[in-house]
Amino acid sequence: MVLVAEGGGGLVCFNAASISNPLVNVVSEGGNPGLTAGDTVSYGAQAGAPGITGFSCSTISAQPPKVILFSAGSDQTLCNPGVAVLDTKLEKAGTTFTWYKDGVELTAEKDSVYTTNTPGIYVVKVITANCSSTDTVVIKKIGNEVPVNQYFCDNAGPATVTLEVGNPEAAAKYGWFTEETGGTLVHVGNSYTVSGLTNDTVFYVVDTVKVNTVLGPTGVGAAQEYYISDANHNNITIQEELRKFNVIAPIKLKSVEVQAALYVGGCGGNPSTRSVTVGLFQNGVATGQTATGTIQCDVPTKVVLDFDIPPGNNYELRIEDIDAAFFKISDEEEAFSIPLIITLLPNVKKSGAFFNWEVEYGAPCGRMPIWAKKSCPLPLMLLSFRGISQDGVANLYWSTALEKNVEGFIIESSSDGFYFESKGFVSASGIGHYRFQDVNGGNSLYYRLKMVDKDGTFAYSLIIHLNGNSEDYINLFSKSCF
């Protein structure tokens, strides 16, 4: 695509809710309206690229600006896992990344990838030479609890922080663990004060209170069935049509009820009893978990199982070597569920001999990560930064205060105020007054300082512009791409 504004120059502005519905405006340098185009064929827009929510304007001559096509990912819901990774998949060299959560800049986050454990609306601004784009990702969370993370700095020694569970449930007892699964229980409570921190630290928190619920068919109206047929009217055993179930979060299936018919499969006159063994199967294969109980003929009887069942689909319970007519079965064929925990799938015909399923479960999403992150501001105060252009040389001067553990200063220049390159390095002296000369041929250039700490952390100064004239031209400002 080649767009030329009248006179051979101008601004090309892209502004689209999605690249699949592009709108291209071309205006002159003076800002007068020019060409508006929505033709994806003539102008080469690529339909279907996800996540593009806006573009800035850039000056062009005969070639259009580079458009940053990227996505930080799709909208996500925090549960399992409890973190979302937003990845722009862009090269870091020559690119600036600014992250926002709910409209507030995350000043400590400058990477191409951002990992979060909290819900919110996240926006990333990506800036390269003469070009910028944004993308928005919405993160939701299952449950009311939210992690309250903390940042700390250990410049003055090991730090102490208090981590919290935000919006805690009133009846909850939150256990703090050192690992996502397993690990050591180190604390119980809504908050946890941790001392001696020198590195990033993560704890995993979960409500340790267990809930017991009974669900499923009740067995009311259950009756003995001597013959069960499939869709082709072929006789099948009751084992082939027992109710399937899916498990979404870890559960303990504590017990079920069964009803045995009289005088069938070894049941004699009331109150005769017999032993039965219930097994857990998944995808038709035995899992190895079994339980044996004694049932009373013609009386609803609880069989204690205590099966620990991980998340998975197509589970079923079976009692082997039992005649099809031994159990009473009911017409309760609809689905039963505990949201986010377990679903008993509906039956396609009258079948299913297990009633009143007793289920024990905990938090549906497992352990929630809460972290303490190390973030130390650069240990100096930049008091001033100015420059003088004279005889093709840029003379740069800056003053600092409160220097501590500062490695030095990288001087960077740019012809457009967006893409910077290194021009030299000045070691920190602790005195607080510095000078650097750049032979630039009298060109109009932008300058900034990259202030580097001994541990590798850094921060940028504001940008100054020297227009190349033989004069003192300070003009401190923060350069923006918008």
- How do the domains of the chain map onto residue ranges? 76-141, 146-209+367-374, 212-361, 381-466
Do 146-209+367-374 and 381-466 agree at the fold level? yes
Comparing C-alpha atoms, which of 270, 324, 320 is closest to residue 297? 270
Q: Per CATH, which fold does 146-209+367-374 belong to?
A: Immunoglobulin-like (2.60.40)
At 382, the amino acid letter reads L
Q: In tens digits, what is the pLDDT along the chain, a chain of 482 residues?
A: 333 333 333 333 343 333 333 333 333 333 333 333 333 333 333 333 333 333 333 333 334 445 678 999 999 999 888 999 999 998 877 788 999 999 998 877 888 999 999 999 999 999 876 678 999 999 999 988 999 999 888 877 899 999 999 999 999 999 999 999 888 999 999 999 999 999 999 999 999 999 999 999 888 877 666 555 555 655 555 544 567 899 998 999 999 998 887 666 556 665 577 788 899 999 989 999 999 998 888 788 999 999 999 999 999 998 876 665 677 777 787 899 999 999 999 875 555 778 999 999 998 888 999 999 988 776 788 889 999 998 889 999 999 988 888 999 999 998 877 678 899 999 999 888 999 999 988 888 889 998 888 877 778 888 888 887 655 554 443 333 32
CATH of domain 212-361: 2.60.120
> Look-up: residue for tokens 């080649």?
2
- Specify the CATH architecture of the domain 76-141: Sandwich (2.60)
Exposure string (b/e) for 376-401, b if CB count within 10 Å is 16 or more?
Answer: bebbbebeebbbbbeeeebbbebebe
Angle at 258 between CA 256 and CA 261, to 5 degrees: 180
Residues with Cβ < 8 Å from 366, sequence gap 6 or more? Answer: 79, 80, 82, 180, 181, 206, 249, 250
pTM over 0.75: no
Out of 1.10.150.120, 2.60.40.2060, 2.60.130.10, 3.10.180.10, the CATH code matching 381-466 is 2.60.40.2060
Residue 248: count of CB within 10 angstroms of its CB: 20
198 φψ region: left (φ > 0), alpha (ψ -120 to 50), beta (else) = alpha
For tokens 């940053």, what's the residue? 68
In degrees, rounded to 5, the angle at the alpha carbon of residue 369 between the alpha carbons of residues 368 and 370 is 115
b/e map 154-179, b = 16+ CB within 10 Å: eeeeebebebbbeebeeebebbbbee
**pLDDT value of position 419:** 73
- Please state, in angstroms and rounded to a whole number, the distance separating the CA atoms of residues 466 and 163: 47
* Contact assessment for residue 123 and residue 134, using Cβ atoms and an 8 Å cutoff: yes
Amino acid at 325: A
